[in-house]
Structure 1
Amino acid sequence: MARWWSMRLWGAHLLGLVCVSAAVGMGVWQYDAWQARRAAERADLTHAEPVAMTDLIGPDDPFPTAGLGRPVEVRGSFLPEGTVLVSGRTGAKGADGSWLVTPITVGDASAPAVPVVRGWVPAGTDLTALPAPPTGEVDLVGWLQPTEAGSGTDADRDDDVLPELRIADLVQRVDQDLYGAYVVAEEPLAADAAAGVDGATLDQLPEAGRFTGLRNILYAIEWWVFAAFAAFLWLRYVRDATSERDLEEADAGPAGEPVVPSDP
């Protein structure tokens, strides 16, 4: 074992330690980034002061990271079309249910619209039994969320029940352009509350998808593979160098002179 840490191999040991440590460290950094991205999927900034939604995102802008879960103020008019139910939302006491969603214009009647989660209803509720959205201009406060990108498939594309709240699915149902986000209303509208619609909460958001931050976790695994490969090369080099030295010493004999093979 002492030969493994001889002076002539210090350079190899130093290079091996640097390479392995750097690769392991980079892997840990990417792993932490993966965890952070998954945690951000459920970020809840309910204690922040509400701001105008247009201050965070424009009609054609990608979803801003700083806006995830941020309370926003929306002023506009609900569209007469485009109301849907989004299934798979667990309510109080674990009851299965759906979100009631209607797009609202952000500004005048011709402005782009943003889908608003008006509230939660028990599973099996018929959309026709729920109140229509109010007419005229309304003001509401809710939490800004990015479009969902789950792997659920819509079993019946002709009905008004969706498996996830995806902007791409809603844009086909309205004439207005839609923002690349949606808003979860903090409180149900008066007419909705009177009809038994409960308030939706961020706790009803789906768990982070399996592929959230996939690139980061793959990079972490890649760096750890590099670390293992570097460790293998390091140990292989040291082993070969040590074996070569042992052979040289064996050939030199005990007094440092070459060993002369004896006659048979």
Structure 2
Amino acid sequence: MGPTVRERLRAAARPRMIAVLAAFLIMAAVFARLGVWQLDRALSRGEARAQAAAERTERAAPVPLGSVLPPQTTFTSDLVGKHVTVTGTFESDQLLVTGRVVHGRTGALVLTPLRVAGTGAVLPVVQGWVSGVEDPAGTAPPPAGEVTVVGWLQVGEAAGRGGFPAGQTDAISPAELVNSWGGPIYTGYLVVDTIDGAPPAGMVALGPPGTTAGGVDWRNLGYALQWWLFGGFALALWWRMLGDEARERRAADAGDGGEPRPESDVRPEPHDDLGRAHPDGDRPERPDGVRPGPRDEAHSA
């Protein structure tokens, strides 16, 4: 049976094992600090990578919408933040997407349908953000006539809770918007950069949507996990040493640590001529001082 927890704790109280524990705790603390350092590097490098990707996306020349996303096709993850240009006509059925926070303040997004030229499909367009407005009529109307819109693509959202007043919604869900705006419809939406070369008036521009890719540098994260595993291994090694120490102590307490006596050192018990052991452990001496052997005792009888 292996050492019990109590036996290990008794072994841990010995000065030698206390010194070993102190050394292992120092090692584990160093390993843990190195792991935290690598984690910080993983997060900072990931953020820097994401920021660089966002800057590249913002500086990239816009491409025609039809070359990357036809109507009613699957919106893939690589399209998030794609800088595109599209020509069409805004329709009047404007909505407010409530409960959206910008710069720490809660307001609404101004969402307008754009009937895309050439396809006749509807593209949801977020012109910007407003605060303190509950009716779409309180926002600036979209430009009339055919316009060229430049912006960044974003994936459509899931269906909202519903039950909002007319002109309001809580989600940019193409699956729901098609019921109000008709189809065909795009599976994503567009966040406006410019309309005919100018930003929308009377609202806060949002800029390119963020991406989730590149938030963590996985190599540095792996290094962090390795350092933490090393710290755990140091403590596990000390626990195993306690088991070895407890087994040695158990063997010593049970008397199993000594070597057996060799057979050559064992002397047989002396017996008399009838095979009985003498009480004093020796044969009686003859009158001449010589101890009789078994053969002499037989002659004297």
Normalising by structure 1, we get a TM-score of 0.57
In structure 2, the CA distance between the partners of 1:124 and 1:79, relative to structure 1 (3 Å rule), is closer
1:158-169 correspondence to structure 2 within 5 Å: 158-169=165-176
In structure 2, the CA distance between the partners of 1:56 and 1:236, relative to structure 1 (3 Å rule), is farther
CA contact (8 A) 1:252 1:258 kept: no
Name the aligned partner's letter for residue 152 of structure 2: W
Provide the residue aligned with 2:294 in structure 1. none
Aligned-partner Cα distance in 2 for 1:135–1:90: 29
Aligned-partner Cα distance in 2 for 1:125–1:158: 9
Secondary structure class of the residue paired with 1:62 = coil
Which of 185, 200, 204 is matched with 2:192 structurally? Answer: 185
Secondary structure class of the residue paired with 1:244 = helix
User: CA RMSD for the aligned pairs?
Assistant: 5.0
Report the alpha carbon displacement of residue 71 of structure 1 after superposing the two structures with TM: 2.0
Report the alpha carbon displacement of residue 127 of structure 1 after superposing the two structures with TM: 1.4
CA deviations 1:117-171 (Å, max 9, x no partner) are: 1233332252134455455432110122223469x744x3342222343334423
- Alignment partner of 1:127 is 2:136: yes
Which of 86, 89, 96 is matched with 1:85 structurally? Answer: 96
1:29-108 correspondence to structure 2 within 5 Å: 43=54, 45-58=57-70, 59-65=72-78, 67-81=79-93, 83-89=94-100, 96-108=106-118
Normalising by structure 2, we get a TM-score of 0.51
Secondary structure class of the residue paired with 2:133 = coil
CA contact (8 A) 2:83 2:152 kept: yes
Secondary structure class of the residue paired with 1:139 = strand
In structure 2, the CA distance between the partners of 1:53 and 1:238, relative to structure 1 (3 Å rule), is farther
Provide the residue aligned with 2:5 in structure 1. none
Name the aligned partner's letter for residue 67 of structure 2: D
1:1-264 correspondence to structure 2 within 5 Å: 43=54, 45-58=57-70, 59-65=72-78, 67-81=79-93, 83-89=94-100, 96-108=106-118, 110-111=120-121, 113-130=122-139, 132-134=141-143, 136-148=145-157, 153-154=161-162, 156-187=163-194, 197-202=202-207, 237-250=240-253, 251-253=255-257, 256-257=258-259
In structure 2, the CA distance between the partners of 1:171 and 1:244, relative to structure 1 (3 Å rule), is farther
CA contact (8 A) 1:120 1:197 kept: no
Gaps of 5+ in 1: 6-20, 260-264
Gaps of 5+ in 2: 1-15, 21-31, 262-301
Task: Pick the structure with greater CA Rg.
Answer: 2
CA contact (8 A) 2:75 2:155 kept: no
Secondary structure class of the residue paired with 1:176 = coil
Secondary structure class of the residue paired with 1:123 = coil
Aligned-partner Cα distance in 2 for 1:178–1:127: 22
CA deviations 1:196-254 (Å, max 9, x no partner) are: 52242238x7x999xxx9xx9xxx9xx89x969x858766555434422443355334x
CA deviations 1:183-207 (Å, max 9, x no partner) are: 11113579995xx52242238x7x9
In structure 2, the CA distance between the partners of 1:208 and 1:88, relative to structure 1 (3 Å rule), is farther
CA contact (8 A) 1:188 1:199 kept: no
Secondary structure class of the residue paired with 1:157 = coil
In structure 2, the CA distance between the partners of 1:238 and 1:191, relative to structure 1 (3 Å rule), is closer
